[in-house]
Amino acid sequence: MATLLITGGAGFLGSHLTAHYLSMGHRVLCVDNFLTGTRANLAEYVSNDRLEVIEHDVTLPFSRAGDVDVIVHLASPASPPDYLRLPIETLGAGSLGTFHLLDAAVSAGARFVMASTSEVYGDPAVHPQPESYWGNVNPIGPRSVYDEAKRFSEALTAAYRRHRGADAGIVRIFNCFGPKMRGDDGRAVPTFIRQALAGEPLTVAGDGSQTRSLCYVDDIVEGIVRFTESGDGGPVNLGNPEEVSMLELAEEIIAITGSASSVEFVERPPDDPERRLPDIALARNELGWEPKVTRADGLARVIEWFRDHPEVV
């Protein structure tokens, strides 16, 4: 039985990762300050005596990592509306937070995995995006609080690996979706589902031709687990290489829900990337990983979850 420390464990992705490790018989310490996550995300596991939920802000030093084997650093506001309303907190989680957790990992001799993002590629000029592409980021635009915090976290993780002997690595996660996303978190999938189930127009930014690639959460969890076990430094892209335009996605969600909603075009946010498409050759070759869940299956599962949880919508 290993002991894992998952920061941001009460969030969307963190709660799924926690569930996975508990189901494998491991012990999990979830560290979270509930800035964007909730205790409700962990409610079904709290009776498990291998789970400990620790309320803590990762921008402060963490002293309880002594017997930890693995640290996965997920703590950070992650959806655009969250990081735009929490800019300083986002920069803190990706700078001070990463420093403290890397120090904790080195002291404990633990494996450290930094959850980075496709946002490090900014509005990319290269498609698909391989890990060798350095990105196209506006360092002072509104989204920079997230993009640059993650880029700094990557630099810090690479430096601790090179100079402090840390067993540290980076995964770059592309858009991920699944149950437990908040209906109001501003990301396209939960927003469209909430709107479709309420019979409201689906608000598509711009003309809806901008694309994303959407990976179901179980596949991302499997990718993180494999990367953690690999000991690799990364960065490794984790995402689904199937591209979908935002207009197509809205139409798919209307079709699957059977909603009578229409599409309404709204203003596009600043620095909104035109295309996002992962090159996952490295993950395929190094980790033997690729997504298994199709977008249609994944959407059907999330729609069912939102139907069963009307309080979230």
- Whether 233 contacts 240, CB under 8 Å: no
- Whether 246 contacts 210, CB under 8 Å: yes
Task: Assess 10 for contact with ligand NAD (CB under 6 A).
Answer: yes
**How far apart (Å, rounded) are the C-alpha atoms in residues 98 and 7?**
10
Task: Assess 192 for contact with ligand NAD (CB under 6 A).
Answer: no
Q: How far is residue 23 CA from its own chain's centroid?
A: 20
Draw the binding track, 45-64, toward ligand NAD (x: CB under 6 A; -: no contact): ------------xxx-----
Task: Assess 8 for contact with ligand NAD (CB under 6 A).
Answer: yes
Task: Assess 6 for contact with ligand NAD (CB under 6 A).
Answer: no
* Candidates 18-26, 126-134, 172-180, 266-274; binding stretch for ligand NAD (CB under 6 A): 172-180
Task: Assess 74 for contact with ligand NAD (CB under 6 A).
Answer: yes
**How far apart (Å, rounded) are the C-alpha atoms in residues 7 and 75?**
5
Nearer to ligand NAD, 89 or 232 (CB): 89
Q: How far is the CB of 200 from ligand NAD (least distance, A)?
A: 23
Site residues for ligand NAD, window 105-134 (CB under 6 A)?
A: 115, 117
Nearer to ligand NAD, 31 or 259 (CB): 31
Given 21, 83, 121, 146, the catalytic residue: 146
Nearer to ligand NAD, 224 or 254 (CB): 224
- Is 121 catalytic? The answer is no
Q: Going by C-beta distance under 8 Å and a sequence separation of 6 or more, which residues neighbour residue 225?
A: 17, 20, 21
The pair of structure tokens assigned to 243 is: 């591209």
Strands (E), 89-187: 111-117, 168-173, 176-177
Laid out side by side, the sheet with 236-238 consists of: 51-55, 27-32, 3-7, 70-73, 111-117, 168-173, 236-238
Catalytic residues: 146
List residues near ligand NAD by CB under 6 A: 7-8, 10-14, 31-37, 57-59, 74-78, 82, 89, 93, 97, 115, 117, 173, 175-176
